[in-house]
Structure 1
């Protein structure tokens, strides 16, 4: 009788792992504690629910490492990426999705798969037998977190994630705001107008920064250290680093022309991205925050065009945990002290929906191959998948290990290409060409 693969957590990584294993012919049980046990950030019991953003970031598979990861996942029949394309929203060069239909479709596909069973139960221990993948994500339950700490002999590392607010479109003043993607990027008119822009002059910007710095913010519990992942910093933390920081980050005014005042260059611009296919909800881009709810409404309504904004969701902050994977995991993503257990997703120290799903894809294939008695060839290090898994399972310095997005800095140099500004475009294209060849060869051998 074929052994069952148990997957704990039905987020991006767990859903992708389950799909890959089931497609290889292995029976899978997904143990997802929601909706029986809720979390701070989740609002439904759907699998693959998106809580921090509706974006999978850049879709450029020739000049961007995360776009390359998109390509590799699609080539591997990845559930997350194929479903993302089914529910794609205009977002310039990014891959943004209609988050609720996306999660509903992932859930339906998995529940309909003849080899997949979904249970709504909380797993609080690390089993001694059977094949398991733990993909519990950044909001691992306290009980399971304690079990992981007890097994690994050290505290799980921790940092804090913030989520951005969502605004109802009909509450935005379009006599002040306008639709335009930065530099008019996009192949269609819909893509070139994928973002909603709210301009600020210098006086408005300075007043906004003052209010942001003075606002009431969430206090951490005693003993908690407020470390943040740089890719998801709260806006007030960015503002504390310098008054111009936001103007060179999420509020940069470049590549945009205000049709209400075409001869006036904005000092700063707040961008909102469509959050659903109906266009009724907009996410404030880069505006993750730890401000208290009352302060958020006061401060965000200082933004021109949002004076009467109605919020479908306010921002918030939550604790995010991950293990020291270079120390604890082997090259097959197995826990060295309990090799019947694999980890996947954000808990391994990768950051982002795409990277989490990618590690789920590999963990699912590796676990299924082990159950079926098959040998998988080594994941090619020159692919985006290989660069990322190599980083978390041995390439990173364990003493300073922190969450990491996929990036070309993780890739081995391409022979014959030199660094420098002149050769960057050619270098990135060489990385992606090599990666695609290596990844397709690996898939053909599996």
Structure 2
């Protein structure tokens, strides 16, 4: 087993390090493992797994939610969010910095992509916050960190991928993501309030006061939030109320996003084509990685590496808590070199037998896994959100990483709280299905 594990890890690292597409790296690693350490022919297994991974009703929701996010990305949604939120936050400690957190949470609920959330919200908020004199480090930190919630708050593309690969209910996963998502948003806002109270308004750290707007003007600006709130509410209610499956809700979401974009006056033939092709490219990329991960999963099953690994770790007598600590450290290191979806698929290909043997609820573990993947989005050298922020601000990665460090530590606290109180994630999915 030691030789096989070593060959597998070295092969995967070499392929990934050489710049090979992640799907090809997974396929190549699986092919070598089967050819060298089993009697099963790799070709038929590859064909079977690619066919099996290429269809499925649940997987249909993936391109639909991606397309919905691409439409909203081009529809001026960020302008509406900033205009609607900012009048109500002027007297709150931290003031308009909260628009990064709340706006990211709202956009995450309709987009499902961390990078798209970061880019969309950041294009609007960062220039405005800089113009109003807010601390640039805190503006960067709140945006980069809160936008990672695009992976957790439903509808989440990563949760759909996890549900498909592990054969878990996507509706339950969506419900399980609500509690932790709200908890992390509250922790971010709480930290921002504490930071603001400690810093005060010295040197423009909390920005200029813009509280002179009348109540009627605030209501007029808030009206721009109504369509997006209706879209979020419609998707969530239809899924959790049993009126529609996630796939059906995604299709409705696409139609409603087109209506919103048209209503905003930012929808035409060019936007339709560009959003559609962007969604197709992203969905095909994810589907290709899923197929490669499926082949690697089969290869690991035929060579019995996961079962032997689970048995070896089981013999070490690690408690569930220590196992979780070890997995978190391992995932954070892997997350420095892999994007979120690839990390989810690679992990589920290798360690799910170990997780099941340790007695973790697979719905709970999916939420835990997504939170750790969120943390990797703001971890160098391959933290995708760091690159998005760098493109928006021109600042170096070290400066951006320092700005996100407090929020990274808050996510670690959130993982610990979820372990101590599993019902943070599990109450809704199981209470709604009683």
Higher fraction of strand:
1
The TM-score with structure 1 as length reference comes to 0.26
Higher fraction of helix:
2
Higher relative contact order (CA 8 A, sep 6+): 2
